[in-house]
Structure 1
């Protein structure tokens, strides 16, 4: 009985240690991604890229809502953006009658160095590449 309790305690500690390591790695990744985003916002201003009012789509893709955030779309499908506030936004929101009239509320997301990682759709791209492409496209891209 005591042996089972010891094993269970060791297992709990191992799981807690693994979770802490994952969280620390994720936090380090987010700091690195945030630095890339800060650099992009600075360069966007230097390149004369004007931020736009961002739009968000519902999870099912049937409706689009205004938001109160200004920024730059990073992907041509307008699913992710960087706000002029230096935050990273995933532009999907729940359907809402209220949002249809007042606009959707966006909450910043924790940025990742690989956009789309863990999303399951197989469409991943390095954040740095997206940011560089957006700067290269310049003002001709929304």
Structure 2
């Protein structure tokens, strides 16, 4: 391999590693915010709600064994009482709708809906403050 191609490959690997470190740092900060929020919400007596998973394209919902607080008005993301982040959309079968389904914790973002349509994104801290003003105090 010639020297130019090797330098380009090395630069691409370095950029990918930098991006991965940055993404991990953001997820760690978001996870800490969610844990802090969940503890503050419990102390403040903010009642959690049963969380439901929505089918893709609005095709029905399914119950889960989770409780928590929806972060978005469309109920596609939530923080559980366990302080974890959940994406609440999935492909749902008829059995899922009848019996319920599970939702696994996901890596939380600092911006909900980033990269989506204009107006669809909101900072995580803003979403949490809408639910419980002063939760960071």
- Whether TM-score is above 0.5 comes out as yes
The answer to whether the aligner puts 1:96 opposite 2:93 as a matched pair is: yes
Partners of 1:7 and 1:105 lie apart in 2 by 49
Deviation at 1:132, TM superposition (A): 0.8
Please name the residue that 1:128 is paired with. Answer: 125
Q: Which has the larger radius of gyration?
A: 1
CA contact (8 A) 1:83 1:89 kept: yes
Match of 1:44 among 41, 45, 51: 41
The answer to whether the aligner puts 1:117 opposite 2:114 as a matched pair is: yes
Deviation at 1:84, TM superposition (A): 0.9
Partners of 2:29 and 2:124 lie apart in 1 by 10
Q: How many equivalent residue pairs?
A: 132
Cα deviation per residue 1:28-53 (whole Å; 9 max; x = unaligned)?
Answer: 00111111111110110111012221
Deviation at 1:6, TM superposition (A): 2.0
Structure 1 unaligned blocks of 5 or more: 137-142
CA contact (8 A) 2:62 2:92 kept: no
TM-score (norm 2): 0.89
TM-score (norm 1): 0.86
Cα deviation per residue 1:58-114 (whole Å; 9 max; x = unaligned)?
Answer: 111121111121111122221110011111011101121221222122121211111
Structure 2 unaligned blocks of 5 or more: none
Partners of 1:9 and 1:103 lie apart in 2 by 51
Please name the residue that 1:140 is paired with. Answer: none
Partners of 1:59 and 1:70 lie apart in 2 by 21
Partners of 2:8 and 2:95 lie apart in 1 by 47
Q: CA RMSD in A?
A: 1.3
